[in-house]
């Protein structure tokens, strides 16, 4: 799939008559008069106000900023909002194929001469797809191209997210009694947990911090339909602006490592990224932030291919299991 990049995931959801705790799609604004780049960026920041509860990290671009970016472990590419790119005067780059929820589309890139994220050293120039801020839900996304060999620490109690360098080491046990370690394998840079199951049936799980809700494919839906009531129609909005019909339900007994999830909100659709991972014909799930926030802390370590979950204070974690990477 040369030249094809799995870039983005559902950053906004349009739910018709479905539960209110899943993010609603932003309203489309009427056409406006021509704005200067600075005015356009200011308007985009105001429009993003409803998404400010999403955890972000400060990013500097060519020494300017900081700007608040979302960390997206489900994205191969770092992405920037068009409004920010115009305001910074970033030059146009090549056009690339972006594989998003709604399919593959041609998207223009801009050349980011340098990008820094706190403890992450400057990674040099990159070609970043440029999309509308309102579709991204932020001024940009940090993808796998900037996260390799790093770990992501998400502290849900403090409402903070950070990135730090990581080095390969020998397998280590849980650091705390209420911590569970889940091993994973790497595919296209993403971490895939293969030792996961639903009602005893093996499934594949991909960590996706860029999506506010977990997303399952059609094979996963067929698996849960026999055990799940209240499945309702919904529509996913891709970060490229496309619409995808889907179904929504709360799912019980999804097991990942030594953890059993109950009442997990999941949207189901046979979207293009599942095919990208060759998971279109087997039950698979992108684990989004609505599920991850059930924990006190989550650490995603790309260098060591592991995920550490710090359980809620009132949960007994015994017995627990740490799976081996493949």
pLDDT at residue 157, rounded to an integer = 87
Could you read off the pLDDT of 248-306 as tens digits, one per residue? 989 988 988 878 888 889 999 888 788 878 888 889 998 888 888 888 899 888 888 88
125-182 pLDDT, tens digit per residue, is 888 888 888 777 788 888 888 887 888 888 888 888 888 888 777 777 666 677 788 8
Least confident of 194-203, 219-228, 235-244, 249-258: 235-244
Find all residues with CB under 8 Å of 68, minimum gap 6, and list them.
56, 57, 58, 59, 138, 139
For 121, the 3-state DSSP assignment is coil
Rounded CA gap, 73 and 152, in Å?
Answer: 9
| pLDDT range class, residue 49, cuts 50, 70, 90 | low
Architecture of the domain delimited by 4-12+20-147: Beta Barrel (2.40)
Enter the DSSP assignment of 49: G
Domain map of the chain by residue range?
4-12+20-147, 169-310
Measured between alpha carbons, how far is 80 from 101 in angstroms, rounded to an integer? 18
> How high is the pLDDT of residue 136?
79
Beta bridge partners of 207: 287
Angle at 228 between CA 226 and CA 234, to 5 degrees: 115
* 72 cis-preceded (ω within 30 degrees of 0): no
What pLDDT shows up at residue 143? 84
Same topology between domain 4-12+20-147 and domain 169-310: yes
Q: Domain 169-310, what architecture?
A: Beta Barrel (2.40)
Give yes or no for residue 326 having a pLDDT over 70: no
Averaged confidence pLDDT in the chain: 76
């Amino acid at each position: 799939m040369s030249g094809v990049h799995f870039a983005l995931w559902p950053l906004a959801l349009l739910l018709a008559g479905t539960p209110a705790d899943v993010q609603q799609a932003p309203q489309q604004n009427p056409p406006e008069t021509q704005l200067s780049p600075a005015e356009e960026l200011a308007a985009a920041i105001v429009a993003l106000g409803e998404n400010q509860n999403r955890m972000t990290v400060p990013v500097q671009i060519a020494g300017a900023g900081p700007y608040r970016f979302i960390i997206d472990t489900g994205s191969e590419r770092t992405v920037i909002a068009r409004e920010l790119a115009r305001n910074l005067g970033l030059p146009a780059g090549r056009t690339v194929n972006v594989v998003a929820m709604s399919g593959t589309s041609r998207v223009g890139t801009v050349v980011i001469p340098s990008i820094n994220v706190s403890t992450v050293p400057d990674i040099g120039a990159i070609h970043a797809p440029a999309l509308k801020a309102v579709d991204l839900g932020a001024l940009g996304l940090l993808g796998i191209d900037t996260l390799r060999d790093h770990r992501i620490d998400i502290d849900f109690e403090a409402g903070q997210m950070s990135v730090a360098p990581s080095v390969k080491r020998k397998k280590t046990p849980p650091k705390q009694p209420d911590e569970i370690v889940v091993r994973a394998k790497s595919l296209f840079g993403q971490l895939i947990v293969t030792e996961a199951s639903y009602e005893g049936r093996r499934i594949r799980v991909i960590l996706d911090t860029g999506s506010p809700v977990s997303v399952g494919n059609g094979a996963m839906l067929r698996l849960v339909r026999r055990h799940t009531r209240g499945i309702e129609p919904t529509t996913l909005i891709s970060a490229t602006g496309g619409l995808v019909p889907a179904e929504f339900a709360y799912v019980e007994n999804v097991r990942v490592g030594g953890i059993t999830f109950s009442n997990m909100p999941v949207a189901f659709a046979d979207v293009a990224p599942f095919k990208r991972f060759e998971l279109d014909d087997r039950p698979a799930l992108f684990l989004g932030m609505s599920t991850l926030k059930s924990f006190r802390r989550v650490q995603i370590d790309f260098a060591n291919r592991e995920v550490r979950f710090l359980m809620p204070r009132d949960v007994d974690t015994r017995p627990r299991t740490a799976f081996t990477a493949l």
